[in-house]
């Protein structure tokens, strides 16, 4: 993983909050894909491209006053792929309660753009998914 790719991911996570997420969209490849599974999301779905990222954020904002993703640790695994441990900080619209949820994603970066996010329930799962597949 190049320094530029790590900087791109760092910047994307800085912008992925309810006030700035639109500013992160230029960092997202039009072929971007993100799948949220039942293990990591209350409403599993597949999100594609910038419109998909926008739809993902809007689903958060239907129930939350504010949402912010905070990258905690980045673990480069091979060129163009990095495991990111992060937290989702959110405040409920009706309750006003602040919550923090940990998350783990395997991010794929290519051509200076974020192309894919795969979510996992633990670091070992992400590491196993990041292992190069033998042909």
Banded model confidence at residue 134, pLDDT cuts 50, 70, 90:
low
Greater confidence, 81 or 43?
A: 81
Query: What Å distances lie between residue 37 and 41, 44, 47, 94, 121, CA to CA?
Result: 6, 5, 11, 26, 10
The tens digit of pLDDT for each residue in 45-57 reads 999 999 999 999 8
99 vs 27: CA distance, rounded Å = 27
The mean pLDDT value for 6-31 works out to 92
Domain boundaries, the chain: 3-130
The tens digit of pLDDT for each residue in 61-118 reads 888 999 999 999 999 998 999 999 999 999 999 999 999 999 999 999 999 999 999 9
65 vs 79: CA distance, rounded Å = 37
Banded model confidence at residue 18, pLDDT cuts 50, 70, 90:
confident
> Tell me, which fold does domain 3-130 have in CATH?
Nuclear Transport Factor 2; Chain: A, (3.10.450)
């Amino acid at each position: 993983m190049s320094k530029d790719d790590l900087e791109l991911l760092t910047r994307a996570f800085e912008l992925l909050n309810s006030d700035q997420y639109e500013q992160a969209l230029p960092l997202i490849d039009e072929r971007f894909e993100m799948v949220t599974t039942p293990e990591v999301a209350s409403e599993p779905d597949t999100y594609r491209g910038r419109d998909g990222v926008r739809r993902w954020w809007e689903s958060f904002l239907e129930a939350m006053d504010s949402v912010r993703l905070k990258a905690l640790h980045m673990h480069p695994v091979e060129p163009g792929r990095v495991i990111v441990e992060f937290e989702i900080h959110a405040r409920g619209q009706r309750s006003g309660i602040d919550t923090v949820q940990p998350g783990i994603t395997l991010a794929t970066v290519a051509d200076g753009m974020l192309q894919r996010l795969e979510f996992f329930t633990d670091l070992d799962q992400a590491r196993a998914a990041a292992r190069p597949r033998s042909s």
